[in-house]
Amino acid sequence: MSIATLTDLTIAYGPKVAVSNLSVEIPEGCVGLLGPNGAGKTTLIKTLMGFLTPASGSANVLGMDVRREGLRLRQRIGLMPEQDCHIPGMNAVSFVAYAGELSGMPRSQAMRRAHEVLEYCGLGEARYRNVETYSTGMKQRIKLAQALVHGPKLMFLDEPTNGLDPAGREDMLTLVRDISHGKGVNVVVSSHLLPDVERTCDNVIVMREGHLAREGDIATLKQGNEAHVDVELYAASDAFLESAAKRGAALVSRLGSRYTLRIAEGVDCGRLLFESAGESGAQVRGFRPSLRTLEDIFMEAMQ
C-alpha cells in the first residue's frame, strides 16, 4: 500500500517548470528522495504539503487530494525544514507546545505531548532553555520535535543531518530509523548524504531536472555483478597487480591503494589474492565482492 500516488504531476513557477509529469508511488516506511540541487525535490515536498497547486496532473497523499484538501492534509503531515527556524523568544517546551496548539491540540494535551516528544528527541535536559541558545545539533532535534508533536502520519525531513558532526548524525539517524519502522509514521528523507540515506531508508526515489531518474528499494538496486572484487592493500604496489593479472584477474579501477579487480568465474578469489600478495610482497588489508553503493546508483542515474 502506498501513502502517496502521483499521476503525471507537473508543477511550474511561472515559465520555469520545476517538476514535469512525474508519476510515482511513494511506498510506506522510510523513503529517500535524492537528486542534485534544482532537481525539484523541495518543489515536490511543497506540493505534497498543499502549499503549491500543481499545473497539471494529480497527487493523492494519505487518501487526500493535494489541490482541495491542503489544510486537512497538513493536519497529518509533519515538516522538518532545511533552514534553521524557530519561533523567537520561546524556550523549547513552550515552542513545541505552541506548535502542537497550532495543529489544533488543546493547550493541556499540547503541553503533555511536548514534554514527551522532547524527551524522545533527546532534548530532555535542555527543554527549558531558549531555542536561540541551542547548538546546531540541538536545533535539528527541536525541528524534528516540533514536526512530531501533533502525531503526523507522514513526515518530510529536509536534510535532517545537515551540518551535524558524526556523533550528532548518528543519533539523528537512529531517531529517524526508529520513527519510520513500526511506529505507523512514514518518513520521506530528502538528503544529499547518501550513506545516511542508505542507513535509514528502504526505498529511494532519484529525481533529475524534474523527471524521475531511478526508483525502487535500495537492496535490489544495489545488486552488483559479483565477479568484481574490491581489494585494499596496505600500500599501492604494481607488482601485486602483475602477479594477480598472471592469475587471470583484470584491473577495473584503482583509487590510491584500493583496487577493483574482475576475477573469472569459479576461481577462489581469496586464494588468488593471497598468493599474488605473497609473491609480490604486498600486504592485503581486506577484500570483498564489490557492492554497488547508493552513490554509484546515484551517479549512474545522473549520466
Give 79 or 221: the residue with its C-beta nearer to another protein: 79
Give 86 or 247: the residue with its C-beta nearer to another protein: 86
- The minimum distance between CB 258 and another protein, in angstroms, equals 10
Q: How far apart are CA 204 and CA 169, in angstroms?
A: 20
- The minimum distance between CB 225 and another protein, in angstroms, equals 15
Q: CB atoms < 10 A from the CB of 251, how many?
A: 12
- The minimum distance between CB 110 and another protein, in angstroms, equals 9
Question: Which triple of cell numbers denotes residue 286?
Answer: 581486506
Q: How far apart are CA 251 and CA 40, in angstroms?
A: 38
- The minimum distance between CB 216 and another protein, in angstroms, equals 18
Residue indicated by cell numbers 523527471 = 211
- The minimum distance between CB 11 and another protein, in angstroms, equals 11
Q: How far apart are CA 129 and CA 205, in angstroms?
A: 38
Give 25 or 284: the residue with its C-beta nearer to another protein: 284
- The minimum distance between CB 60 and another protein, in angstroms, equals 18
- Give the DSSP per-residue string, 123-155: -STTTTSBGGG--HHHHHHHHHHHHHTT--SEE
Give 5 or 162: the residue with its C-beta nearer to another protein: 162
Give 46 or 215: the residue with its C-beta nearer to another protein: 46
Question: Which triple of cell numbers denotes residue 113?
Answer: 505531548
Q: CB atoms < 10 A from the CB of 220, how many?
A: 8
- Amino acid identity, position 86: H
Give 25 or 291: the residue with its C-beta nearer to another protein: 291
Closest Cα partner for 56 from 1, 18, 3?
18
Residue indicated by cell numbers 487518501 = 63
Residue-level length of the chain: 303
- The minimum distance between CB 8 and another protein, in angstroms, equals 21
Give 60 or 276: the residue with its C-beta nearer to another protein: 276
Q: Where are the beta strands (DSSP E) in 55-101?
A: 56-61, 64-65, 77-80
